[in-house]
Chain A
Amino acid sequence: MKAVEIEQRQAAALEEIRAAADERSLDALRAKYLGRKGLVPALMKELKALPPEERPLAGRKANELKVAVQQALTERRRELAEARAHPAAAAASFDYSLPGVWRGTGSRHPISSIIERAVEIFHGLGFTVAEGPDIETEYYNFDALNTPPDHPSRDPQDTFYLSDGRLLRTQTSPVQIRYMEAHPPPVRIVAPGRCYRRDTPDATHSANFHQIEGLYVARGVSMADLKGTLAYFARRMMGPGVRVRFRPHFFPFTEPSVEVDFSCHACGGKGCRICKHSGWIEIAGAGMVDPNVFAAVGYDPDEYSGYAFGMGIERMAMILYGINDIRVFYENDIRFLEQFAQ
């Protein structure tokens, strides 16, 4: 076969390969050209019959044909494999805009979200979580917390008493007492939990609500430590620019006592609806543990000092998420809950 003929055969072979519809035809074409009884071995044999002067050119052309056929087969095989792997993707009928199929998205209740975030922040500062019962004795809820016997907060108008004289805790502070009774200093705890007050439900009152309590007792704890810690918490919880300020206040179980304001995260302190145009939001009650509380748990107030603070979880959630009615937390409307998928 002359070189020209070989070139013509090559062109025909490549066309044939490119048109192959499936793997099976490719296998047949491979046998036709490269197989033991195929064209290429036949050509090689024919070369010997050619005049010596034509042999080099025809040999080169035969080799070219072999390589080209091999490449074409590989290429076509890859094309067919790709088409097989993504049949629908290749098709215009594929609809990527259909709804996805996986199970639904869950969500934490916003109260849980706030508790978990707060605990996580205090965890990073070496606080661990302590818990206590919802049903408390007057001793843990009031007496040990230095609350005078005739203090208004003990009034049955404000506190749910049980018929056996116990009560539903009005604050998470009894956890402080239980923990200190069971552990020698130092202590560094946070206590999230459910509390109860005998309020008529309205936009800011609910029969039960949640608090998180903090307590740090060691040698040399100061009010500056309290302020530094709450300032850190404020930035982590509400945003990097948030500041804290203290206002003197009165609580039976701390002395000095303060109310703690955070600068408004929503307006940066300029004043808006959330902060009632004051730039500040009351978040916590806090102070230095009263020596009478130390006396109740057998700590030596001359050796140890400590701070305690308490914050309302619902209040924090309302401020952070812009919610203006506490009752929505307990209505559990899915259209409310699904906004907190975190």
Chain B
Amino acid sequence: MRVPLSWLKDYVEFDDTPGNLAERLTFSGTEVEAVETVGGEYPGLVAAEVLESKPHPHAPGLTVCRVNSGTATLQVVCGAPEVLPGHCYAYAPPGTALPDGTAVATRTLKGIDSHGMLLAEDELGLSPDHSTLLDLGPASPGTPLAEILGPPETVFHLEITPNRPDCLSIIGIAREVAALYGTELRLPGFDLTESARAVEDAVRVSVADPSDCPRYTARVVENVRIRPAPLQMRRRLALCGIRPINNIVDVTNYVLLECGQPLHAFDLELLEGRRLAVRRAGTREAITTLDGEQRDLPAGILTICDDSGPVAVAGVMGGANSQIRSATRTVVIESAFFAPALIRSAARALGLSTESSYRFERGVDPAGVEWASRRAAALIKDLAGGEILRGVLDIYPHPVGPRHVSCRWEAITNLLGVKAGPDEIAGRLAALGLEITERTPRGCTVSVPSRRRDIEREVDLAEEFARLHGLDRIPEPPPRSLVVPDADDTHTRATFALRARLVGLGLREVNNYSLVSPRLLDTFRADDPSSRIILPHPVSHDQSVLRTTLIPQMVVTLGRNHARQAAAHAALFEIGRTFSPGKEEDRLVLGLMGPAGRPPLDRRRAVTIPEMFLWLKGILEALLPANNPSRPWGLSPADIPFLTPGTAMQILVHGQSAGTAGILAPNIAAEWRFAGPVAVAEITLEPLLEDFRRIPSFSPPAQYPAIQRDVAVIVNESVKHEDVLRVIRAAAPKELASVELFDIFKGEAIGSGKKSMAYSLQYRSAQRTLTDEEANAFHAAVIEALRRELAAVVRES
């Protein structure tokens, strides 16, 4: 909301700079977003009267005028649509400058000399309006513009929180300023002289349901003359962002800005049956609103109707069929209180937010409805002449009185943590217009006017006191520590520790959106499309499904980095949430591309699939270390559509599937044109956190020396490391302390389709030192089993 400083000063006295005022408003809850200076000193610019005007002979749209600048009669060419003889406009003579610095000189426009310019509001820096010339109204030619327009105006741009509709007006802000500076609020005085004829004789009013419209008033002014409002009123409207129309409409808008009560003026002669009925729209009703739009009204929307149908959308916008015209003679002034929720849904349904709907949505003051009506009638009579009919039609079946709220001094100071005495608290509340009706040593009761619907409870009074007392006066004691005995956040702490381990392993963390494109999920065929949670109203199709897996976005991330040449190799991870009906699950995803596991001097060689796979597996081994015997895990080949067959693995933890790992399938990798294999793995977070919660139990290191024996087996290439291990472990006695694969060799020397795998075995007894003979016997049993079960050729050492 915009508040011109000079207008504010009509209602409240205070002695401070605009900057300080802005600061005090902001720190008492009325946020000043900006302070703007509008207008200027206008050196050399004067009022000029147009003596005659005629169309430019060679340029349609231009007008050639003779103007009286007070000191001379000059010829000026002008592009405005309407230049009326007898009217005074702002005039910049040659040799002067516009407020934006543009120099004004004599120019020739299509062959005709123009000595200076007639100005529109934007050229004067008053508003962005360039549609018409600024009409100065009655002014004597030659009067300096600064004298007519006054000094430059300071305009505050305020942000009003939704709980304070009472601040959506100049008087509302003046009330705050008065409370802040301890001065008096001055409401405008006016004289309401009514004629003998009663309003009841001119118009009839009805409200179908008072809960839709708790208060509706109508007043009538007859014999008005429509003309422009005075310059000052038009300027104030423009400063507040409202376009002046004519004296009647401008008065309704002026009073709206002044006191926050939206008004509407109807031309009584255009009301069929001279009636205004507040009722919900039926089916298939329509109206052309004042903005010229033909609108079908949703059934149930609140309307104002005459005998033929809707003449206004209640609280939102009037209809063209009853609007004030230049021929209007009789005006009905509507001032009402409409149910906020109805106006909000109406404005939303029509996609139309107006100054009126904005205020009705937040709630106007039901007690202020009638004052605004009187104020508008008096102003109309002043500016448009005519007679105000006697009385007002006021349908207000359940008047809203003030509310009484009590508070305890101690409760307020304890809640805020400040020291303040009863007089100080009572004084602050009274300054806000909260009348103290009862006061005891422990507290008080205040009468809350109906405009402050936000004050209902003791804490609300505490807030009122706090914001006037000053939040900067609340002390900052050092934090009090408090241990909550059964608080447990090991899950989060374990997640942090897991992240630290991943970072320590050299992986980089990424963060992707929770919302993904269904097409991307379809590409991977990683989920069951029927169990996706789809947003009915997404912002875009690309972000319309809650992710069911983290892998696709990880691949996109790798692909994007590859395409941007951000990095030739990458090892990335994300810890994120996945969604399925009834379940939210936190998971870890890993993604590798390029020679991520190689030292710097060995990165040019192409990365092979087995190599890439083992890097990925190495990370999993570091995350699921073997030193936790209570959590067995392993990989099991599986059929996974987005992974390369043979590398596609299910991750089993405790024998249950906990995720997938493998090399991205070539057809999917092709979409991102990766240079080599890409490895991905996804695993549920829970088993990974076990290590960080588990308390390890110590077992003493072996006391007796171990005896080492090596064995190399030549086996078919199809034999796996795990097959060899299984045979060794089954054949060896309990004294087998460890088995380590230390070499794999393939070559002509051992024949094609064969490989040699060399293992180092350690034998050790927990009870005594083993003899060579014992170790030899153990080893012989192992060798025999390898020969027998794997058809292996064994080379011992």
Q: Which A residues form the contact surface with B (CB < 8 A)? A: 98-101, 103-109, 111-112, 116, 119, 125-126, 128-131, 133-135, 149-152, 155-156, 160-163, 168, 183, 186-189, 194, 196, 198-201, 206-208, 216, 218, 220, 222-225, 227-229, 231-232, 244-250, 255-258, 288, 290-291, 305, 329-335, 337-338
Minimum Cβ distance to chain B for residue A310 (Å): 16
Q: Told that A255-B457, A256-B462 touch, could you supply 16 new A-B pairs with CB distance under 8 A?
A: A103-B506, A112-B509, A128-B484, A160-B538, A163-B536, A188-B482, A198-B539, A208-B513, A223-B415, A223-B466, A227-B476, A245-B471, A291-B457, A305-B415, A332-B572, A334-B566
Contact (Cβ within 8 A) A196 B514? yes
Contact (Cβ within 8 A) A258 B537? no
Task: Say if the beta carbon of B560 comes within 8 Å of chain A.
Answer: yes
Minimum Cβ distance to chain A for residue B506 (Å): 4
Contact (Cβ within 8 A) B416 A222? yes
Q: Which 7 A-B pairs have the closest CB atoms?
A: A224-B417, A222-B417, A248-B29, A256-B463, A250-B161, A106-B503, A129-B489
- With contact pairs A162-B535, A288-B415 given, residues A225 and B489 touching in the complex (Cβ less than 8 Å): no
**Chain B CB within 10 Å, residue with most, of A98, A227, A231, A255:** A255
Which chain B residue has the least Cβ–Cβ distance from A156? B537
A-B contact pairs, 30 of them (CB 8 A): A99-B601, A106-B503, A108-B503, A109-B509, A126-B482, A134-B577, A134-B579, A151-B162, A161-B537, A186-B484, A188-B484, A199-B539, A207-B513, A207-B543, A223-B415, A223-B417, A223-B418, A224-B475, A227-B474, A227-B476, A228-B479, A232-B478, A246-B471, A247-B29, A248-B463, A250-B161, A290-B459, A331-B560, A332-B572, A333-B564
A161 CB contact (under 8 Å) in B460, B499, B502, B536 = B536
- With contact pairs A225-B417, A228-B479, A247-B471 given, residues A128 and B487 touching in the complex (Cβ less than 8 Å): yes
CB neighbors of A among B464-488 (8 A) = 466-467, 471-472, 474-484, 486-488
Q: A329 vs B509: C-alpha distance in the bound complex, in angstroms?
A: 11
Minimum Cβ distance to chain A for residue B695 (Å): 19
B504 CB contact (under 8 Å) in A106, A225, A334 = A106
Q: A250 vs B463: C-alpha distance in the bound complex, in angstroms?
A: 10
A248 CB contact (under 8 Å) in B467, B476, B567, B571 = B467
Query: Count of chain B residues with Cβ under 8 Å from any Cβ of A?
Result: 88
Contact (Cβ within 8 A) B561 A332? yes
Minimum Cβ distance to chain B for residue A182 (Å): 11
Q: A125 vs B479: C-alpha distance in the bound complex, in angstroms?
A: 7
Minimum Cβ distance to chain B for residue A87 (Å): 21
Q: A111 vs B536: C-alpha distance in the bound complex, in angstroms?
A: 29
Contact (Cβ within 8 A) A332 B510? yes
**Chain B CB within 10 Å, residue with most, of A104, A206, A218, A231:** A104
Task: Say if the beta carbon of B608 comes within 8 Å of chain A.
Answer: no
Q: A163 contacts which chain B residues (CB < 8 A)?
A: 534, 536
B26 CB contact (under 8 Å) in A150, A222, A247 = A247
Minimum Cβ distance to chain A for residue B353 (Å): 11
Contact (Cβ within 8 A) B584 A337? no
Task: Say if the beta carbon of B491 comes within 8 Å of chain A.
Answer: yes
Contact (Cβ within 8 A) A225 B511? no
Which chain B residue has the least Cβ–Cβ distance from A120? B496
Q: A244 vs B577: C-alpha distance in the bound complex, in angstroms?
A: 34
Which chain B residue has the least Cβ–Cβ distance from A245? B472
Contact (Cβ within 8 A) A248 B561? no
Chain B 343-356, CB-CB to A under 8 Å as 1, else 0, gives 01000100000000
Task: Say if the beta carbon of B505 comes within 8 Å of chain A.
Answer: yes
- With contact pairs A129-B492, A188-B482 given, residues A333 and B560 touching in the complex (Cβ less than 8 Å): yes
Q: A333 vs B489: C-alpha distance in the bound complex, in angstroms?
A: 32
B509 CB contact (under 8 Å) in A98, A107, A216, A290 = A107
Task: Say if the beta carbon of B701 comes within 8 Å of chain A.
Answer: no
A333 CB contact (under 8 Å) in B26, B414, B488, B561 = B561
